[in-house]
Chains A and B, each alone.
Chain A
Amino acid sequence: MNFLRRPAFLVGLVLVGVVAIAAIAAGWIAPFDPVKNNYRYRLGAPNDLYLLGTDRYGRDVLSRILFGAGVSLRIGLAVAVLSGLAGASIGLISGWWRPADAWLMRVMDGMMAFPGLLLAIALAATLGPSEATAIVALTVAYTPRTARVMRAAVLVARALDYVEAARAVGANTARILAKHILPACAAPLAVQQTFVFAVAILAEAVLSFVGVGPPPPQPTLGSIIADGRDTLVEAPWIALAPGTVIAMLVLGLNLLGDTLRDALDPRMRGMLR
């Protein structure tokens, strides 16, 4: 486990950790109510009281970012877990049970022909914008990629000698899958889902930016940027600050994913993404 001491891993951990702790503690550390207006201080420049300035309703940008980061993390994590479960199931069936393979993979290919973001935007809008529909839409959009990775891992695992041996001694399918195939696929799956976590945070920001994310008054990083876009000339801090937080989270997760991949299997280097 010496990858734990690699600088890239530590930097990633710090980036994600700082944002995550700040987001979880938002209720206590946020200096203001993120949805409370202050019409006497609209589009206010950053100062001692409002560290990152205020938006056009006089709401504190820092407090909004703290709460928005929580939404990004929640949605990103939920998408990583749910698309991991769905993708792993589809990939497992596809890689193990050959009759289903061609059918399932054609469906996945078809889904992957849509740019993931466009599909997610269309789905989120169709189902009606909310945090839950953002999770569903992004899960649907990113499951096919995970399924492909899982299928490839299952195909490698099922050809391993000890799997052959397990079959030869008469182990039943359920036992082989649970004891041998799934553990062998855990590493690539974990790496892939770390990247999905990162991509889902970027994608959620886009959903919110174009207006199909969690609806107001819920602050999200993407919707703060959308607000700031209209006042980019007078109050650039509104749009610029939340993007930095997104970049911190995504860069941190990508660093974690990269080091995890190199540590778990050097041969996988460059296989994903």
Chain B
Amino acid sequence: MLRLVAVRLLAAVPVLLVVSLVSFGLTLLVPGDMAAELAGPSATAADVARLRESLGLDQPLLGRMLAWYAGLAQGDLGRSVLLNQGVGAAILERLPVTLSLAFLGLGVACAIGIPAGLIAAKNVRRWPDQATMGASLIGLSLPDFWLGLLLIWVLGVKLQWLPTGGFIPLSEDPLGWLRSVAMPAGTLALTQLGPIARMTRSAALEVASSDFIRTARAKGLSEIRVFARHVLAGALVPILTVAGIGFGLSLGGALVIEQVFSLPGVGRLVIGSVLRRDWPVIQGGLLVIAFVFVLVNLLVDLLYLWADPRLRAQS
């Protein structure tokens, strides 16, 4: 068991290596002089030179790379040029907003999408299946940021039920927090529902056609029992996979949704930095988001071992 866990942990190492290399390499693609661009058109040559030195751009490539990894090893992601703040601190400050949005959206989407997918699988090619699959196809075809604006227009502007944007921390006012995240999380959930219902359906169909289900039927178990005890148990691993993929989608979606609802999360920070060309923040944002993604997938991998005794038996 311990060996299996160690193997999974080791598998994440090359992924993190690629992630850190891509995040570092991004700035190499900047055309022209990065320091001059950051300093702005009114900066003097001395200003540009000072900025170049503080960013380490006067160092050779290898030196910059070593400095980047030395920083990472100490948890130092560099300093934001425009926020006058450490990148790590700026991101950590905003990460809870992004994560709570992603998990809330995913939670709602799973709570509705997984049962919907199971119902569709149970009634395959009959109307509940066709209705669910049709609705989920439409759901996954809508641009999430546009759906958010549509909700703002209907629920915020027309009906005035919910605030149109802004964020209230949970610690300040729980009800206000819920009202401020209800629409963004709802938007996220609506766009995640489709993929989750579809993936759950195909996973359940796969399980339902396997031998152990035929055996369960053959020994005379009721249809309900077969479904609740055997199909569900067998579908647990695929559903975990669905949740894992869903988290990745949800995280990516949350970054954009924040922008629509003016939530102070990592997505808004990174997209704001993209527009102001604050490279250290962009690099740090990419790195941290990918790190979270890898971490959650690692967790899903470990949950597989718990959910599927066959995987444990392999060792």
On whether the two chains bind one another, the answer is yes
Of B15, B141, B201, B290, the residue contacting A247 (CB under 8 A) is B141
Of B14, B16, B141, B275, the residue contacting A125 (CB under 8 A) is B275
Q: Which of A94-127 contact B (CB under 8 A)?
A: 106-107, 109-111, 113-119, 121-123, 125-127
Of all chain B residues, the one with the shortest Cβ separation from A239 is B149
Q: Which of A230-262 contact B (CB under 8 A)?
A: 232-233, 236, 239-240, 242-243, 246-247, 250-251, 254-255, 258
Of A114, A212, A239, the residue contacting B286 (CB under 8 A) is A114
What residues of chain A lie closer than 8 Å to B149, measured between beta carbons? Answer: 225, 228-229, 232, 239-240, 243
Q: Which residue among A109, A127, A128 has the maximum number of chain B CB atoms within 10 Å of its CB? A: A109
Interface of A is mostly: helix
A179: CB under 8 A from chain B? no
Interchain CA distance A119-B147 in the complex, whole Å: 22
**Are the CB atoms of A115 and B289 closer together than 8 Å?**
yes
B161: CB under 8 A from chain A? no
**Are the CB atoms of B286 and A118 closer together than 8 Å?**
yes
B146: CB under 8 A from chain A? yes
B48: CB under 8 A from chain A? no
**Are the CB atoms of B141 and A198 closer together than 8 Å?**
yes
Q: Which of B192-208 contact A (CB under 8 A)?
A: 195, 198-199, 201-203, 205-206
Interface of B is mostly: helix
Count of B residues near A, CB < 8 Å?
57
Interchain CA distance A228-B157 in the complex, whole Å: 14
**Are the CB atoms of A232 and B248 closer together than 8 Å?**
no
Q: Which residue among B15, B138, B145 has the maximum number of chain A CB atoms within 10 Å of its CB? A: B145
Given contacts A126-B29, A273-B195, contact A118 B289 (CB under 8 A): yes
What residues of chain B lie closer than 8 Å to A114, measured between beta carbons? Answer: 19, 22, 286, 289-290, 293
Of all chain B residues, the one with the shortest Cβ separation from A127 is B29
Of all chain B residues, the one with the shortest Cβ separation from A253 is B141
B143: CB under 8 A from chain A? yes
**Are the CB atoms of B18 and A110 closer together than 8 Å?**
yes
Given contacts A109-B14, A211-B275, contact A239 B146 (CB under 8 A): yes
Interchain CA distance A205-B144 in the complex, whole Å: 10
B137: CB under 8 A from chain A? yes
Interchain CA distance A24-B195 in the complex, whole Å: 31
B168: CB under 8 A from chain A? no
B30: CB under 8 A from chain A? yes
Given contacts A114-B22, A206-B145, A251-B137, contact A119 B286 (CB under 8 A): yes
A-B interface, 10 closest residue pairs, ranked by CB to CB distance from nearest: A110-B18, A270-B202, A115-B252, A243-B146, A251-B141, A125-B274, A250-B141, A113-B290, A106-B14, A110-B15
